[in-house]
Amino acid sequence: MGRLPIFLTGTQLTDELYVGVDAGGTHTRMVLADRHGALLADLEGGPGNYQLLGAQQLTALIEALLQQLRPGATATVLCAGVAGAGREAEQVSLRGHLENRGVADRALIVSDARAALEGAHAGQPGVVCIAGTGSMVLGRNAAGDEARAGGWGPALGDEGSAYALVMAGVRRALQAVDGSGKQTRLQQDLLPALGLAVWSDVIAATYGGELTRERIAEVCPTIFAAARVGDEVAAEIITSGGLSLGAQVAAVARRLHLSSTPAVACVGGVFAELDVLRAPLAAGAGEFTLQLIRPELSASLGALLLAFSTAGISVPAAVTSAWASDEARSGQP
């Protein structure tokens, strides 16, 4: 990408550079701003999951993006929301690498969910429900307390995620093939979507690594398409995932003592099908009436907000509104 919008007129650019990074499982997005909040440039790069790359390779990726945007630059403050870096040891390691390499004078590392939460509510309290390749719910109240639910990864959870929905579809299709489960059009629809000729090929493709987690997650629209034409099995899978996500939102809202009508920003590709998910989400939330909203800002701009906050700079609402307008024009977040 790499566009250069300047939003604030009558401001003087300084040498200070503030950087927000959203390092996710499929891509890494970086945004740059001056001290006044004027967006200077942005760029996307490859996957940035800490568990796959480690601190050294991820530092190299972030450094390469910054040098493409501003050769020779060092960020005054850089905040990176990083998939797979939700624990303190990982955050300390990556921060040390970035600062020691001179990528940033000061670096802040948070989870990708924390950056998404900050962006979704433009720095204000609220809840974010993330359902992309993986899933989790994170919230923050007015006192600054945080709580999370889910996010345990594909082997231990990620209910309602694209990966989990497709894997449930594969299992139900295999049960139908065996004759032990209900017949479903997923038997036919999932084969070409996954690049398989016959179901016996799924064993080698899955255990041999051809069907990666990301490749499987890409097939999620097939589950929703089957549900939309009346497939009972596909509808049951989606309902189960939505109920789980709704229950996780309720758990977070309960622990944070939020109101009975919490604002919940829905983030991730699965929510392209929000009209189908709305009812099971509401049912799973129990006593809470969810106010489902679109995120105000992307996770990369959420990270940028955290970079400013780390520097003790408060970003005016007029500036975040300008950011939101720019993202709307460009198709983000």
Domain CATH for 101: 3.30.420.40
Structural domain includes residue 91:
yes
Encoding tokens for residue 218? 């890409």
Which pLDDT value is given to residue 333?
Answer: 58
Residues 115 and 240 in one domain: no
- Judgement on whether residues 160 and 289 belong to the same structural domain of the protein: yes
Q: Are residues 175 and 256 in the same domain?
A: yes
| Claim to verify: residue 269 and residue 162 sit in the same structural domain | yes
Residue 185 lies in a domain: yes
Write the CA distances from 35 to 99, 129, 227, 241, 307, integer angstroms.
20, 31, 49, 42, 11
The total domain count for the chain is 2
Domain that holds residue 248: 149-293
3 state DSSP class of 264:
strand
Rounded distance between C-alpha atoms, residue 215 and residue 17, angstroms: 36
Is 214 among the domain residues?
yes
End-to-end Cα separation, the chain, in angstroms: 14
Q: Are residues 102 and 233 in the same domain?
A: no
Instruction: Tell me, yes or no, whether 95 and 155 share the same domain.
Output: no
Task: Indicate whether 141 belongs to any domain.
Answer: no
- Are both 322 and 286 inside the same structural domain? no
285 token code pair: 């939330």
Which of 285, 326, 320 has the alpha carbon at shortest distance from 121?
Answer: 320
Could you tell me which of 9, 37, 10 has the C-alpha nearest to residue 319? 37
In a domain, 12, yes or no: no
Instruction: Verify that 255 and 312 share a domain, yes or no.
Output: no
Alpha-carbon distance of 96 to 7, in angstroms, equals: 33
pLDDT at 14: 53
Residue 271 CA to its chain's centroid (Å): 11
Question: What does the pLDDT profile of the chain (333 residues) look like in tens digits?
Answer: 333 333 333 333 458 999 999 998 778 999 999 999 999 999 999 989 898 899 999 999 999 999 999 999 999 999 999 988 988 999 999 999 999 999 999 999 999 999 999 999 999 999 999 999 889 999 999 999 999 999 888 889 899 999 999 999 999 999 999 999 999 999 999 999 999 999 999 999 999 989 998 899 999 999 999 999 999 999 999 999 999 999 999 999 999 999 999 999 999 999 999 999 999 999 999 999 999 999 999 999 999 999 999 999 999 999 999 999 888 776 665
CA 303 – CA 112 distance, rounded (Å) = 9
Residue 313 lies in a domain: yes
164 shares its domain with 198: yes
Q: Is residue 319 part of a domain?
A: yes
Whether residues 281 and 188 fall in one domain: yes
Q: Is residue 9 part of a domain?
A: no
320 and 288 part of one domain: no
175 and 39 together in one domain: no
